[in-house]
Structure 1
Amino acid sequence: MDLNRRTALGLAAAAMTPVSRAGAPGDPVETIRLWPGAAPGGARVTVSPRVVERSTDPAFHDRFAQYTTEPILSVLRPARPNGASLLLIPGGGYKWAVVDKEGLDCARVFAAAGVTCFVLRYRLPGDGWAAGPDAPLQDAQRALRLIRARAAADGLDPTQVAVLGASAGGHLAGMLTARTDATYAAVDGADGVSFRPDLSILLYPVATMADPFVHAGSRRELLGEAPTAEAMARYSLERMDWTGAPPTFLLHAMDDAAVPVENSLQLLAALRAAGVPAEAHLFEEGGHGFGIRLIEGKPAGVWPQLALAWGARRGWSREVSPADEPGAAVVVR
Structure 2
Amino acid sequence: MTRFDRRTVLAGGLALSAGGAGTAQARGAGGAGPLLVDLDREPDLEIALWPKGPPGGAGVALSEHYVSRENPWGLPDRAAHEVTRPTLTLFRAARPDGSALLIIPGGGYSWVVVEKEGFEGARYFSRLGATVYVLKYRLPHQGWAAGPDTPLQDAQRAMRVIRARSAEDGVNPARVGVMGFSAGGHLAGSLATRFAARVYDPVDDADRLSARPDLSALVYPAATMKPSYAHAGSRENLIGARPAAALVEKYSIESAPPPDAPPTWILHASDDAAVPVENALLVYRSFKDAGIPVSLHVFERGGHGFGLRVEDGDPLQAWPSLYWRWAASRAARGGR
Range of TM-score over shorter length: 0.7 to 0.9
Match in the other structure for 1:281 = 297
Q: Is the 8 A contact 2:56 2:146 kept in 1?
A: yes
Match in the other structure for 1:69 = 84
Q: State yes or no: 1:133 paired with 2:130.
A: no
Match in the other structure for 1:14 = none
Q: Secondary structure at the match of 1:81?
A: coil
Displacement of 1:239 in angstroms is: 0.8
Q: State yes or no: 1:188 paired with 2:172.
A: no
Distance 1:209 1:58 in 2: 33
Displacement of 1:298 in angstroms is: 1.2
1:235-250 equivalence runs, <5 A: 235-250=251-266
- CA-atom RMSD, angstroms? 2.0
Q: Secondary structure at the match of 1:134?
A: helix
Residues 248/226 of structure 1: CA separation in 2 closer, same or farther (3 Å cut) = same
Report Cα offsets for 1:274-316 as digits up to 9, x if no partner. Answer: 1000111000000001000145431111110000000110117
Match in the other structure for 1:229 = 245
Q: Is the 8 A contact 2:44 2:92 kept in 1?
A: no
1:12-27 equivalence runs, <5 A: 20=16, 22-23=20-21, 24=24, 25-27=40-42
Displacement of 1:96 in angstroms is: 0.4
Q: Name stretches of at least 5 consecutive residues in structure 1 with no aligned partner.
A: 1-16, 319-333
Q: State yes or no: 1:124 paired with 2:131.
A: no
Report Cα offsets for 1:243-293 as digits up to 9, x if no partner. Answer: 111100001000000000000001101001110001110000000010001
1:1-333 equivalence runs, <5 A: 20=16, 22-23=20-21, 24=24, 25-55=40-70, 60-179=75-194, 180-315=196-331
Residues 317/129 of structure 1: CA separation in 2 closer, same or farther (3 Å cut) = farther
Displacement of 1:60 in angstroms is: 2.0
Distance 1:167 1:57 in 2: 20
The range that moved more, 148-157 or 36-45, is: 148-157
Matched-pair identity in %: 51
Report Cα offsets for 1:153-173 as digits up to 9, x if no partner. Answer: 222100000000010000000
Q: Is the 8 A contact 2:41 2:123 kept in 1?
A: no
TM-score (normalised: structure 2): 0.86
Residue 210 of structure 1 aligns with an amino acid whose one-letter code is: K
TM-score (normalised: structure 1): 0.87
Distance 1:205 1:106 in 2: 16
Distance 1:156 1:19 in 2: 26
Distance 1:37 1:28 in 2: 23
Match in the other structure for 2:6 = none
Q: Is the 8 A contact 1:115 1:317 kept in 2?
A: no
Displacement of 1:317 in angstroms is: 12
Q: Secondary structure at the match of 2:162?
A: helix
Displacement of 1:131 in angstroms is: 0.3
Displacement of 1:225 in angstroms is: 1.4
Displacement of 1:36 in angstroms is: 0.6
Displacement of 1:29 in angstroms is: 3.8
Residues 300/233 of structure 1: CA separation in 2 closer, same or farther (3 Å cut) = same
Q: Is the 8 A contact 1:174 1:237 kept in 2?
A: yes
Residue 281 of structure 1 aligns with an amino acid whose one-letter code is: H
Report Cα offsets for 1:115-162 as digits up to 9, x if no partner. Answer: 000000000011100000100000000000010111122221000000
Q: Name stretches of at least 5 consecutive residues in structure 2 with no aligned partner.
A: 1-12, 25-39
Displacement of 1:56 in angstroms is: 6.4
Q: Is the 8 A contact 1:101 1:291 kept in 2?
A: yes
Q: Is the 8 A contact 1:223 1:231 kept in 2?
A: yes
Q: Secondary structure at the match of 1:152?
A: helix
Distance 1:249 1:311 in 2: 9
Residues 175/55 of structure 1: CA separation in 2 closer, same or farther (3 Å cut) = same
Match in the other structure for 1:328 = none
Displacement of 1:58 in angstroms is: 8.3
Residue 163 of structure 1 aligns with an amino acid whose one-letter code is: V
Displacement of 1:234 in angstroms is: 0.6
